[in-house]
Amino acid sequence: MIIDAELKGWLDDRAAQRDVDDAARRFARDWSASSPHQDFDAAMAALGDADAETVAEAARALLADDAWVDALVARLAAEMRAGAWFEPPFRALRSDIHSGLLVYEDDHLTIAAGVSRLTRLAERKQGGKGKGSIQFSGQVSVLRFLKAGGAQLAFWECDPIGADFSAASAGECRLTGKRRIADGETIVVDGRRQSYIIEQASANFTVLQANVKTGQAPVSVEYDSGTRRFIGCSAVDEGDCRIQMVATLARTLGHEEAFDAIAPFLDHASFFVRWHAMKELLGVDLAAALPHLKRMAARDPHPDPRAAARMVLDRIEYAPGPRKAA
């Protein structure tokens, strides 16, 4: 195939690879120095220790002027036409229906631009027969629909997700309304208690989305769209996610120091990190993990790790035959 020959030629050409890297660095440098990026920086610097609602209002004002999006996309297109192997210097964001790029990030928020595809939305609806889950992100989000594509959104609410969140107190989510979104419309969704799902659309739609980091909930929460009951939760904070990932990696690789490296996270501030660390310790060395499991079952300050530890402990204590590491 021609593309294979072109790819091989590029992989064998160190100078061409350096040119691609240089182009990406130059693009990133120019974008950081551009007026839109500087405006984002200035607006965020002025916020100080503002709460999530204040940051969201600032984001709404920033996204109101979207002329920079066309300029950014045009520049990206020009670079990709000039070099087939050009890689945009932005983190790619992908889901089953959405593709986008993270174009701005600081301590207050992230801003992404992306496209949701009608065909993929239809495939998901048909594959799931209209059923699925409702995700509450744990973050306040500002969404500006540059092209709404005739999208109809269904809006949902749940009990507020706070530091004291637990599975037992999650309750059920509630449908609060449905409506079509207009081109150019901006909505604010407080993912600590609000969510939306895309019910239908007549065309692809383009969205700018600012996710507020300030004041975010400790977890994102998922509910079943049929029963409206709690399904599960996951970490929102990037640091918490990395701890969980590294703990799993250490256990999977069987590193001899994995147990001692993971054990300190049993005292982590986030209850779900503590439980994740406990699960990985059980997989590394069941006998060594048992004292920690018993302490968690008796004294963890959060009810979910206590209950989970108690359940696992009961299974271990009453399991027939010799104990084996998980």
Domain of 171, CATH number, reads 2.60.120.10
Do both 203 and 81 map to the same domain? yes
**Tokens of residue 203, six digits:** 């065309």
The pLDDT of residue 316 is 83
Do both 81 and 170 map to the same domain? yes
The answer to whether residue 324 sits within a structural domain is no
The pLDDT of residue 106 is 94
Are 265 and 284 in contact by the 8 Å Cβ rule? The answer is no
Do both 33 and 170 map to the same domain? yes
The answer to whether residue 323 sits within a structural domain is no
Q: Look at the chain and report how many structural domains it folds into.
A: 2
Q: pTM of this prediction? A: 0.80
Q: What domain range is 148 assigned to?
A: 2-235
Q: Which of 184, 207, 235 is the last residue of a domain?
A: 235
Give the integer Cα–Cα distance in Å for 64 and 196.
21
The pLDDT of residue 1 is 47
The answer to whether residue 12 sits within a structural domain is yes
pLDDT per residue as tens, the chain (326 positions): 455 776 677 677 777 778 888 889 999 999 999 999 999 999 999 999 999 999 999 999 999 998 999 999 999 999 988 877 888 999 998 877 788 999 999 999 999 999 888 766 655 544 444 457 899 999 999 999 999 999 999 999 999 998 888 888 889 999 999 999 999 999 999 999 999 988 888 888 899 999 999 999 999 999 998 899 999 888 888 888 899 999 999 999 887 789 999 999 999 988 889 999 999 999 999 999 999 999 999 999 999 899 999 999 888 876 555 444 44
The answer to whether residue 36 sits within a structural domain is yes
Give the integer Cα–Cα distance in Å for 311 and 297.
9
Are 110 and 140 in contact by the 8 Å Cβ rule? The answer is no
Do both 228 and 246 map to the same domain? no
The answer to whether residue 326 sits within a structural domain is no
The candidate with the shortest Cα–Cα distance to 324, out of 291, 285, 295, 297, is 285
Do both 231 and 243 map to the same domain? no
